[in-house]
Structure 1
Amino acid sequence: MIRVRWLWLICLIFVFGSFFPLLGFASKGDNEIIEPFEEDRYNDRLEILKEAIRLTLDFSLAYLDLELDRLRFGEYSEPPGEVRYTEEPKAKNAKEYYELGLYYMKQNSYSKAIDAFKQAIKLKPDYPEAFNGLGLVYGSLGSYEDAIKAFKSAIRLKGDYKEAYYNLGLSYGKLGRYEEAVKAFERALELSSEEESIKVNLALAYYKIGGFYWELAKYKKSLEAFKKAVELDPNNVNFYHDLACAYGKLGSYDEAIKIYKEVIKLNPEYALAYYNLGVCYAKLERYVEALEALEKALKMRYDYAKSHYGISLVYLILGNNNYAFKHYKILEKLDPDLAKELFRYIFP
């Protein structure tokens, strides 16, 4: 009997011993072979994920995220002169034709206004106000090139004509010629430094220049333009936000973080600021803070695909594959192309 028991015991040891490796158990000798391989593989994957954050997790500019109609320049300045008529007047001289042009402008009779201003100029070729009025009508009709010609004529006749410079800047701005708009607005500001509408529109011109340089990947020039926009209109959180983006893009993450925090103080519901703050933390390898900021962005804007992408990458680095996969599945519905990019890191 004793021999039979020993025989059974030997068989059990043999059978279960062969299954130990399959169940995840290994001998000391096995560990000496497996552990270095697993550690190398983990470190390699970690470096790939960090590289993904450096290269693919990018800042998101408010300028590109805003609807274009929220970035419009202001209205043209009111033309000088009082409209005294309640019915269609008869004009005899240049001044009366100018006033007639103003009258037609108020009535939205733009073709008649153009004729009246042109008649005033014909009778008095050195009439800067009439040229300015003509430019205003063209601008109201969206004929910005013609408006620019008229405003330039007004300025040639009257070099300190601040309203004409302001209107010229608006016309350039509406055509997307922002650098020329800046020059015109700056001259208008020199002539009237206290006029708030000039500062606001000049700030917007600089802001648009900053966005233009950003799209050309000229981030230093973008930074300088955003700085000027902030100086002129310090109450605009979008200007501050995009200044931080430019700092971040140039690798000045600490400066960017400081500004994003100020932006969030001014507007605690600014989802994009939380997202970009998370990007900064991720690039500095401060992953817990990155996760906190990115998740706050999602609370305010759950359908923002870039936040899901960033959160998933950070979770992968922190070793939480389940949460990473959860955000990947959401991303699949929001942005299939970005999800494909992420797929490579979840399933390397």
Structure 2
Amino acid sequence: MLKPWPWFLLFICLSLCLDSCSASKAERMRKAEASRRLGEGCLVGGNYTAALKELLKAEKLYSKDHLLQNDLGLAYFAKRRPDLAIPHFKKALALKPDYSQASNNMGTVYLGLRQWDNAIRCFNHALDNILYATPHIALSNLGEAYRGKRDYKRSIDSYNKALEMVPRFFRAHRGLGLTYMATGNYEAAITSLGKAVQYAPQFAPAYYDLGCAYAGRNDREKAISSFKKVIELAPDAPLADKASAKIKKLGAVRLRNHSKNHLPPVERVV
């Protein structure tokens, strides 16, 4: 039988080991958080490779952080690797099931993959959380998913719910305009897209969409004006080339119509 003194020493040793392990874990978590924050800064700055490097470093130190897993999903998505992004969003939700941002982000990845039903499930899951701070974002994304499924009624309803919450949310105005355009309702599309460019005057894609809506209504002058705005705002972007092609096409239509209405005089054969 051991004497009391050795038992006391054993207890002290075990306590020291536990304290050491706790301190080691706390230090790893502290370093992991520092790397995560660096990675988030790189994400915001658009340096996705550097972001991924820092976030992976953080994961090696401490992986059970829902914020980190969400960040990794965003980094892989930015690197055009949806196949690697989705598992990290799932890990974030496994760690925190009511983490609506991760659910919304995963739905956005599914939108890019045109997996509409998976996207809808993700957005609805995000909206199930009554404490979700930005439900208008998930509702707008839900509108896009329903438009992808050609369920235009639900698409319009989702966008309108988003706009009830945030009336100046330009992405919802743009999405609503695109849905109206898909139904052939160009008047309503022009109204919604007009609000989109009003609230986001530097967002070139909304001007392009507005130009398409004007063209659908056969309002050539306003269509050309909108397409010119695209070129002004984003002269080096591929969208500017598309806008130029639209302008040329509308110009060709005008020339054809002009030639029909101004035929040269002919002599009648008597």
The TM tier, using the shorter chain, reads: 0.5 to 0.7
Residue type of the alignment partner of 2:161: E
Deviations 1:126-173 (A, max 9, x none): xxx557525413412427657656667xxxxxxxxxxxx5x3x33333
Query: CA distance change for structure 1 residues 241 and 148 in 2, over 3 Å: closer, same or farther?
Result: same
TM (normalized to structure 1)? Answer: 0.51
Residue type of the alignment partner of 1:219: W
1:203 to 82, 91, 100: 100
Residue type of the alignment partner of 2:243: A
C-alpha contact 1:210 1:222 (8 A) present in aligned 2: yes
Return the index of the structure with the highest Cα Rg: 1
What's 2:247 paired with? Answer: 343
1:282 aligns with 2:164: no
What's 1:291 paired with? Answer: 190
What's 2:90 paired with? Answer: 182
Q: Which runs of 5+ in 2 are unaligned?
A: 1-11, 36-53, 74-84, 235-239, 253-270
The Cα shift of 1:302 comes to: 1.8
What's 2:33 paired with? Answer: 140
The Cα shift of 1:217 comes to: 3.1
Query: CA distance change for structure 1 residues 96 and 141 in 2, over 3 Å: closer, same or farther?
Result: farther
1:323 aligns with 2:227: no
In 1, Cα distance between equivalents of 2:245 and 2:123: 31
In 1, Cα distance between equivalents of 2:70 and 2:248: 43
Q: How does 1:121-200 map to 2 (within 5 A)?
A: 121=21, 132-142=25-35, 148=59, 167=65, 169-176=66-73, 178-183=86-91, 185-186=93-94, 199=98
In 1, Cα distance between equivalents of 2:232 and 2:183: 29
C-alpha contact 2:89 2:105 (8 A) present in aligned 1: no
In 1, Cα distance between equivalents of 2:59 and 2:229: 50
C-alpha contact 1:244 1:259 (8 A) present in aligned 2: yes
C-alpha contact 2:107 2:118 (8 A) present in aligned 1: yes
Q: Which runs of 4+ in 1 moved over 6 A?
A: none
What's 1:301 paired with? Answer: 200
RMSD between aligned alpha carbons?
Answer: 2.9
The structure whose residues are more often helix, as a share, is 2
Q: Which runs of 5+ in 1 are unaligned?
A: 1-91, 100-119, 122-128, 153-164, 190-198
C-alpha contact 2:100 2:132 (8 A) present in aligned 1: no
C-alpha contact 1:331 1:338 (8 A) present in aligned 2: no
Query: CA distance change for structure 1 residues 98 and 344 in 2, over 3 Å: closer, same or farther?
Result: farther
Query: CA distance change for structure 1 residues 242 and 138 in 2, over 3 Å: closer, same or farther?
Result: same
Q: How does 1:18-37 map to 2 (within 5 A)?
A: none
1:214 to 102, 107, 111: 111
Give the number of the structure with larger relative contact order, counting CA–CA contacts within 8 Å between residues 6 or more apart. Answer: 1
Q: Percent identity?
A: 19
